[in-house]
Each structure stands twice: as structure tokens, then as C-alpha cells.
Structure 1
Amino acid sequence: MTLDPEQLGRSKADLAEALRDLRKRAGLTGDRLAKRCAMSQSKISKIETGKTTASLMDVERIVRAVGAPPELVSEVMALARMANTEWQDKRFSWRRGLEKRQAELAALESESTEMRYFLPSMLTGLLATPEYVRASLTHSPGGKSKTVARKLERQAVLYDRSKRFTFLLTGQAIRWAVVPPSAMAVQIDRLASLSRLPNIGIGVVPDGVTIPRGPLNTFTIYDDRLVTAETFTGRIVFQDSRDVAQHREVFDMYATFALYGDDVREYLDVRVQSLLRDL
């Protein structure tokens, strides 16, 4: 699916209108359609008015119930896929202020119980030392002191034992020199320390492992309800259960190649010693 940000913005209203039109073409009232779909009439009403975004499963039930022709089914299902996807422009985030994005992430972390982070090239702010955080914001516009402070404040969530975190990194993410060697040694040592917390799993896919599928982008899975995928120009938010499930499958596939526990701590220590020798 090609993601056009303008289409993503229109798609929720377009989907609501398309489903309402399909019901009317079929000569059904909202109540009759609700019974055919085993939904409540109020849910059908909220879907048709755009107050609730229909999931792909909801849409499949509705198009079957109204007997929509195949060409309309394809069109409506494409709309449903876009309606369950959101584009967040990075330039817009910069204009709002980067600290506001940190507040949004803190809310997501607060609302979630299990979080999975796939990090193919760099570390996430939750794992970062202050020096790494500051360096990672070098090319972001505007003042950064508030953003750095908010990123570091968010790290407190790691110590909430009611939550489970799994961070899956590649060897490249460990090697990428965001800060000088001495600071990278401190950063990697922090990873080893965090890996000992009972609610945190840190895995590293080491260099040289043969994997038929290359890592494409950073993404985070919040429970089984939402995924954010990062690009250079922004982020895509997937809320459809099928997109979430597909990201979970990708995560689990890479996880089978990773080192954990004592093995990952030994791997990280070798990297620290290498950095210290180079000083």
C-alpha cells in the first residue's frame, strides 16, 4: 500500500461515507445491518458518522452483510486500511516543539503493559545516557534542553515492574558512534545493567548471523494494539490488528537470532573493552 499523507487524513471520513452508502444501496436500516453483522446499532451509527473508525474485521463483516460487489469491496477495504493508519510529519512535530512529542510517548508508555522496540541502527531514548540523548538531537531544530529533560524523565517507566519491555537491537546499533568512544563505552555498560532488571529483556542480533530478511526501519509495538514505525521524514502509526500482527511476526523472527542474558552481557562487555582499548 502506498501511503499518501493527504489520503490518510481524508480516509476516515471517506470510509464512514462509503459504508453508509453501501448500507443505503442495500436498502437496510442501521438496526437491520447491525443484526446481520452481530454488532450494536450504536456502533454502526458511530462508524457511519466517523465517531468510531471501523477495523478491517468490522468492514469485512459489513461488506458481506450488504452483499457489496467485489470491485467495491476492494475499494472499501483499501480505505479501511488507510483509515487505520496515521502519518505524523516530523516537520510538524518540530514546529509543535519536540517536548510535546515526549509527552505523547510518555502517555503511550503509561497506557501500555508490554512494549517491544526494534532498533536496527540506533538506541531509543529510554535506553540512552544523557550524553547520547543530547548527541542524538544534534540535527533537530530549536532548543533541546526541555526535550533532553523529558527524554530522561521518561526513563523512570523502566522501573515500573508492572510493565514489560523488550529491546531488540542489531550489532550496528551497538557500534554506531553517536558519541565519542569513552561515552559509547558508558552507554553500552548501561545496556548491560538494564538487562539485569527482571522486567526488561535486551537482545542483540550479532554481526555475521545469516538472516534472509534485512532490517528496514525502527518500530515499536505497544501491547497488541498499536505500532509506530519511524522514517526520516516522520512516523507511521498502525492501529489495524493485521498490521500490528505483521510487525509482531517480524519482531519475533529477528528475536530468534538474538543473544540474551549472560550471552548478551558478554557480547556488550567485549564491545566496551574494544572501545576502551582504542582510547
Structure 2
Amino acid sequence: MTFDPGQLGQSKADLAEKLRTLRRRADRTQVWLAQRCNMSQTKLSNIETGRVTPGIVDVELILRALDTPEELVAEVSNLARLANTEWQGKRASWRRGLEKRQAELAGLEAESTTLRYFLPAMVTGLLATPDYIKATLAHSPVDTTKTVAKKLERQAILYDSSKQFTFLLTEQAARWSAVPRAALAVQIDRLVSLSRLSNVRIGVAPLGTVLGRGPMNTFTVYDQRLATVETFTGRMVFQDARDISEHLKIFSLFERHACFDDEARSLLSEWAESYRS
């Protein structure tokens, strides 16, 4: 399936219409179909009118109950996957204010218990010093004063012991020179310090780690319900269980090859010293 960001908004309406058409074509009532799929008629009605986006499992149940032909199953399944994917463009974020994105992230973090961050290129805001945050926002064509403050506020979540954080960084991410050498040493020191929190694991994959799969892009997985993937022009939000599962597999692969605890702290400290010397 080819991805087109413009399809995402329309796909929800298309999915609702397609499911409604398939039920009517099969000459089945909402009551009959809801009972066969073990869901309420209200939920089914909301799905068919587009007020509720069905999960992949719901769609599969509906298609099976209606004895849908295989060629239509593939088409509707693709629609369902698109409908469970959201595109958030950078330009839209700039227009409404980057600090609003920080409020959304804070909400996601507050609702989640297990958070996994894959960082192949740069340090993420939760781990960043004020200097690093300011430097990484310097390219934004809008005022970022409030955004910097919100990013720093969000860091308090790291001290919530009811949550578990795992951050996986490549050596490039830890050593990327977003700031001058002295400030970068301080940034790496902060990684060492945060790695000592009981609920925070910081792993590092040093250059030379033999791993066939490349670290293609930054992503975050919130529990097992949602994954966000960063690109230069925006971010994609996945709620399809298959997409989330694939990102968890990738995370586990790199996690198995990363250094943690004292081994990671030793590497980080060595890199920090190299920038101080």
C-alpha cells in the first residue's frame, strides 16, 4: 500500500461508507451484524456513520460475518489501516503553536505506563538540557520560548516511579553536536545522571555494533497502544496493532544489542570527557 498523507483524513469516511455498503449489500440489519460481532448496535452505528474509527479486529469481525469476498477484504483492510494512522505535519504545528504539541505529548506520557524511545539521531526533549533544547528548536520559524519551557516542564514525568522509561540511543545520537563541545559534555553528563533513576533505562549502541538492520528513524511506543514516528516534515501516529507490534520488534532488536547500566555510563562518561579535553 502506497502512503499518501492526504489519504488519511478521507480514509475514515471511506471506511465507514464501505462497511455500511457491504452490510446493506449482504441484506443484513445492524442488529444482526452487531450480535454476530459481539458489539453493541450503537457502536456499529457509530462505525458506519464515521463517528467512531473501528480497530483492525472490529473490521475483521465485520468482514467475516458478512462473508466478504477476498478481493474486498484486502481493500477494506487497507482502508482500516489508513484510518488508524494519523499524519501531523510540521507546518500545521507551527501555525497552531509548538507548545500545544508539548501539551499533547504530556498527555500521552501521563496516560502511559511503559514508554519506549528509539533515538538514532539526536537526544529527545525529555533527556535534554536547556541549551540543547534551544539549539534543536533554532530552525523553527516561530517563537519557541513557550515550547522550551513546556519541554522542561515535561521532564518531571521521569521522576514518576509508577512509569517505566527505556531510551535507546545510537552513539551518533548521544554525540550529535547540536551544541558546542562544552555544552555537549554537559548534555552527555545529564544522560549519565538520569540513567541512575530506578525507573529509567538508557541504552547506547556504540559505533561498530554489528547489526544488519539500520536505525532508520526516531520513534516512540506508548505501552502497546500507540506509536509515533518522526520525519523531517512531520510525524505519523500509528494505532494499528500490526504497526505497533513491528515497532516493538525493532525496539527489542536494538535493545538486545545496546549497552546499559554501568557499561553505558562508562561509554557516555568517556565521550563527555573527550569533549571537555
TM range (shorter): over 0.9
Residue 174 of structure 2 is matched in structure 1 by 174
Task: Give 1:19 shift.
Answer: 0.5
Distance 2:118 2:44 in 1: 36
Q: Once the two structures are superposed, what CA deviation does each residue of 1:76-134 show, in whole Å capped at 9, x if it has no partner?
A: 11100100000001111011111111111111111111110000000110000000000
Distance 2:163 2:2 in 1: 34
Residue 234 of structure 1 is matched in structure 2 by 234
Q: Once the two structures are superposed, what CA deviation does each residue of 1:211-266 show, in whole Å capped at 9, x if it has no partner?
A: 01001100000111101100000000001111111111110111000000011000
Aligned amino acid, residue 182 of structure 1: A
Aligned amino acid, residue 176 of structure 1: W
Residue 191, structure 1, aligned to residue 186, structure 2: no
Counterparts in 2 of 1:237-248, with a 5 A limit? 237-248=237-248
Residue 148 of structure 1 is matched in structure 2 by 148
Task: Give 1:273 shift.
Answer: 1.2
SS at match of 2:235: strand
Q: Once the two structures are superposed, what CA deviation does each residue of 1:116-161 show, in whole Å capped at 9, x if it has no partner?
A: 0000000110000000000001101111111111110110111111
SS at match of 1:242: helix
SS at match of 2:117: strand
Counterparts in 2 of 1:87-236, with a 5 A limit? 87-236=87-236
Distance 2:265 2:55 in 1: 42
Q: Once the two structures are superposed, what CA deviation does each residue of 1:25-72 show, in whole Å capped at 9, x if it has no partner?
A: 111101111122222222211211112111111111111110111111
TM-score by length of 2: 0.98
Aligned amino acid, residue 206 of structure 1: P
SS at match of 1:272: helix
Residue 20 of structure 2 is matched in structure 1 by 20
Distance 1:139 1:216 in 2: 22
Distance 2:82 2:228 in 1: 15
Counterparts in 2 of 1:27-38, with a 5 A limit? 27-38=27-38
Aligned amino acid, residue 266 of structure 2: E
Distance 1:43 1:212 in 2: 45
Residue 72 of structure 1 is matched in structure 2 by 72
TM-score by length of 1: 0.97
Residue 273, structure 1, aligned to residue 263, structure 2: no
Distance 2:144 2:77 in 1: 42
Distance 1:128 1:80 in 2: 37
Structure 1 segments unaligned to the other structure (5+ residues): none
Distance 1:143 1:172 in 2: 28
Choose 29-38 or 150-159, whichever is displaced more: 29-38
Distance 1:176 1:265 in 2: 17
Q: Once the two structures are superposed, what CA deviation does each residue of 1:158-188 show, in whole Å capped at 9, x if it has no partner?
A: 1111111110000110121000110010000
